[in-house]
């Protein structure tokens, strides 16, 4: 197998792994590709990602698809094969049993139950193992799992659509279309790729959004909706509750929030999470720890300005999708990041991609220490 073959097949493993984002939590969505020698060069004989709901893991599905052709094959996998007897038997053992000759692994599994033991198991069985190909990409794709395992909180992505005059809305005016239709479709895809969408109660009161994924064919991919609401001000009649039977709602309230209001939200079908207060608001760090304990690995923060500012100020944002739209809001606009705009993020974040979508410009940023950590 040439180095170019290795890169190509790892790229395939990463691509298939990404297809499960938002569907496998608390498990990571891992991609696995089994490649055997063919008459015209290497051929893919098995390809899989972690199944919806997190099990089976990717490797046994790809190895099963390969069948007898797995013997002597190379397996490309975006995360170290597991070595623990969890809810499924160890993937490292499945690879050994299938008789693979070589494994190419993007990153080690930070799960303390695995943490290098999967690779060691393969090596002990005489399998050649290369670790590190595609690591930078795998660390981004698996950021939710890595964050939950190493920091005990989810990976947090902030999405902001900003007008040409720097605003994300106008106070007291409800939902204003800032980004264009192509951006909105992309934003709905981002929702589907997360385990939860988070907003502050101000956004519920001002915009009354549904916060579901409404892409054709993907409405079943809507994640949990989380409202940060220290004083339980969310109206039980909010639009969020219209589809609560299929898309759950979690309201994060502060200790001591009005019990009648909290009970009314619970009666409307919301899960209630009570966390300590930090001044006038809920303690965001404590809330994120509680979300991770519930299995949430990736959160999309959709606003408003209050929650975005608080999350950035508390240094809890890891990734930003900043959408610059040509629309003008005029006087009275709500300015994000304490009115300082994209430049305010430059110190802590690096730009990894700039894309034009419709008439909008999407700037994708990652927190420096996250994208550089090995």
- Taking the complex as a whole, the smallest distance from the CB of residue 196 to ligand AOF amounts, in Å, to 18
Report d(CA 248, CA 321) in Å as an integer. Answer: 24
In terms of CB distance, is 88 or 371 closer to Zn ion?
Answer: 88
Closest alpha carbon to 69 in 86, 44, 87, 89: 44
Q: Does 82 contact Zn ion by CB under 5 A?
A: yes
For residues 323, 325, 329, 331, the Cα torsion angle rounded to the nearest 10 degrees is 70
Residue 157 interacts with which of Zn ion, ligand AOF, none, CB < 5 to 8 Å by class = none
Q: For residue 242, which phi and psi values (nearest 5 degrees)?
A: -60, -40
List Cβ neighbours of 16 (8 Å cut-off, separation of 6 or more): 31, 32, 33, 47, 48, 49, 58
In terms of CB distance, is 91 or 325 closer to ligand AOF?
Answer: 91
In terms of CB distance, is 88 or 285 closer to ligand AOF?
Answer: 88
Residue nearest to ligand AOF (CB): 86
In terms of CB distance, is 28 or 333 closer to ligand AOF?
Answer: 28
In terms of CB distance, is 118 or 166 closer to ligand AOF?
Answer: 118
- Taking the complex as a whole, the smallest distance from the CB of residue 59 to ligand AOF amounts, in Å, to 6
Could you list the residues that contact ligand AOF (CB under 6 A)? 27-28, 30, 50, 54-55, 57-59, 79, 81-82, 86-88, 91, 109, 111, 114
H helical segments located in 240-282: 259-267
Q: Does 91 contact Zn ion by CB under 5 A?
A: yes
- Number of residues binding to Zn ion, judged by CB under 5 A: 3
Closest alpha carbon to 44 in 81, 24, 15: 15
H helical segments located in 67-167: 91-98, 117-124, 135-141, 143-151
- Taking the complex as a whole, the smallest distance from the CB of residue 28 to ligand AOF amounts, in Å, to 5
Tokens of 127: 């399998």
Report d(CA 131, CA 114) in Å as an integer. Answer: 15
Closest alpha carbon to 76 in 117, 48, 113: 48
- Taking the complex as a whole, the smallest distance from the CB of residue 273 to ligand AOF amounts, in Å, to 22
- Taking the complex as a whole, the smallest distance from the CB of residue 121 to Zn ion amounts, in Å, to 11
Choose the stretch contacting Zn ion; rule: CB under 5 A; options: 33-41, 53-61, 210-218, 323-331: 53-61
Is 59 part of the annotated catalytic residue set?
yes
SS3 label, residue 260 = helix
Q: Are 326 and 164 in contact (CB under 8 A)?
A: yes
Residue 262 interacts with which of ligand AOF, Zn ion, none, CB < 5 to 8 Å by class = none
Note the residues at the interface with Zn ion (CB under 5 A). 57, 82, 91
Catalytically annotated residues: 59
């Amino acid at each position: 197998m040439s180095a170019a073959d290795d890169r190509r097949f790892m790229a395939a493993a990463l691509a298939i792994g990404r297809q499960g984002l938002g569907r496998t939590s608390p498990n990571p969505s891992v991609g696995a590709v089994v490649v055997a020698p063919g008459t015209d060069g290497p051929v893919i004989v098995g390809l899989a990602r972690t199944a919806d709901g997190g099990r089976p893991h990717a490797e046994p599905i790809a190895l099963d698809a390969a069948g007898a052709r797995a013997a002597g094959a190379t397996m490309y996998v975006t995360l170290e094969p597991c070595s623990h007897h969890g809810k499924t038997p160890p993937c490292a053992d499945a690879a050994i049993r299938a008789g693979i000759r070589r494994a190419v692994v993007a990153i080690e599994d930070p799960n303390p139950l695995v943490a290098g033991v999967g690779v060691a198991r393969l090596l002990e069985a005489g399998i050649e193992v290369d670790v590190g190909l595609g690591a930078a990409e795998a660390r981004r794709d698996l950021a939710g799992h890595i964050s939950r395992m190493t920091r005990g909180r989810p990976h947090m992505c902030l999405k902001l659509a900003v007008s040409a005059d720097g605003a994300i809305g106008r106070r007291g005016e409800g939902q204003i279309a800032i980004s264009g239709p192509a951006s909105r479709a992309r934003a709905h895809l981002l929702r589907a790729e997360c385990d939860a969408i988070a907003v502050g109660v101000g956004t519920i009161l001002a915009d009354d959004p549904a916060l579901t994924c409404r892409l054709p064919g993907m409405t079943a991919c809507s994640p949990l909706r989380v409202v940060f609401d220290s004083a339980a001000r969310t109206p039980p009649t909010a639009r969020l509750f219209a589809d609560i039977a299929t898309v759950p709602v979690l309201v994060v309230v502060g200790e001591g929030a009005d019990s009648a209001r909290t009970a009314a939200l619970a009666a409307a079908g919301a899960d209630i999470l009570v966390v300590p207060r930090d001044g006038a608001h809920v303690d965001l760090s404590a809330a994120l720890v509680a979300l991770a304990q519930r299995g949430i690995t990736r959160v999309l923060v959709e606003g408003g300005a209050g929650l975005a500012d608080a999350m950035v100020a508390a240094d809890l944002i890891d990734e930003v999708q900043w959408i610059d739209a040509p629309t003008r809001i005029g006087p009275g606009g709500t300015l994000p990041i304490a009115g300082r705009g994209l430049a305010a993020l430059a110190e802590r974040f690096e730009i990894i991609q700039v894309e034009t979508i419709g008439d909008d410009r999407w700037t994708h940023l990652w927190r420096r220490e996250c994208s550089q950590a090995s």
